[in-house]
Every structure is written in structure tokens, then in C-alpha cells.
Amino acid sequence: MTLDELRRLLDADETQYDAIAARLTPDDLPTVRELAHDENPLRASKAVYLASLLGGADVVVEAATADDPILRAASASALTNLPPRERAGIAEKLVGRGDVAVDKLVIRSLEGAVPSALADRLRRLSTASPSELVRSLSADTLRRLG
């Protein structure tokens, strides 16, 4: 798929991620990666999410460390499309950075064992987050994951 075709599909008001992903092959991931760096943050965030459907964890990682909060939110949203092991590593980069919306998305995506550094952050959030919901989600997730 060409860059312009993919740009047009991502610019739709109701982006059909699954339908777009079904039309793409691994050879298209560099094009998606390029759009994840687009100057339009909405288009870039949509490309990050699409990359997660194609196994582009590296794109999601890069968005997790971006200065733009829209890209960090896209990374958090994309976590559920990645294998649990990859999620935990990206979650460590996202959680506890002061963005309640990102924290909620990240915490809800966690499954299986989490690294000790991430568990420590969840413990801190369970008592110190300014959001009651994040405190509750953190505590519940720590209990659930054991």
C-alpha cells in the first residue's frame, strides 16, 4: 500500500483499523512506521495503533517515550494488541508519568507476571496517584497478578 493510500485510510473519521490491517502485509510496516512520525499527531497516533495490530512493537515503544502526550496515549491504547511480555516492558515506560488517562489504559492492559520495577510503580500508584480510579486499578491489578 502506498503512503498516500494509507494516509487517506488513517485520516477517516472512523478509522477501520482491523480492515486496514487485513489489507497490509509485513512489507507495509515501514510505511506505517513512517506515518507514526507524521507531523499530524492524530494521524501519527493512529499509525501507532495500527502498527500494534501488525506486530510493530518497536513503533509502540518509540511512541511510549515520545514527548507528545497524544503519542504516549496511543502507545498505551495499543498495548492490548501486543503479547503480554512486550506489554510489560512498554508499560514500564508509560506508567506513573503523571498522565492519569495513560495510567488507566496501561494498568488495564496488564496480564501475567510483571517485572519488579513495574510492580513497584503500581504499588506507588496504588497509594500516591491523585486519581482514586488509578489507585484502585493499581491495587486490584497487583492483587490479580499476584
- In tens, the pLDDT along 77-124 reads 999 999 988 899 999 999 999 899 999 999 999 988 888 999 999 999
pTM score, two decimals? 0.91
Do 75 and 12 belong together in one domain? Answer: yes
Do 77 and 91 belong together in one domain? Answer: no
Do 36 and 100 belong together in one domain? Answer: no
**Mean of the pLDDT values across residues 43-55?**
97
Mean residue pLDDT across the chain: 95
pLDDT at residue number 114:
86
Do 55 and 120 belong together in one domain? Answer: no
Domain closes at, from 40, 65, 82:
82
Do 63 and 35 belong together in one domain? Answer: yes
Do 68 and 18 belong together in one domain? Answer: yes
Do 76 and 134 belong together in one domain? Answer: no
Q: State the residue range of the domain holding 112.
A: 84-146
Q: What are phi and psi of 30, to 5 degrees?
A: -60, -35
- Total number of domains in the chain: 2
Do 74 and 115 belong together in one domain? Answer: no
Q: What are phi and psi of 113, to 5 degrees?
A: -70, 140
Sign of CA dihedral 4, 43, 49, 72: positive
Do 3 and 61 belong together in one domain? Answer: yes
Do 20 and 59 belong together in one domain? Answer: yes
pLDDT at residue number 71:
97
Q: Residue 146 pLDDT more than 80? A: no
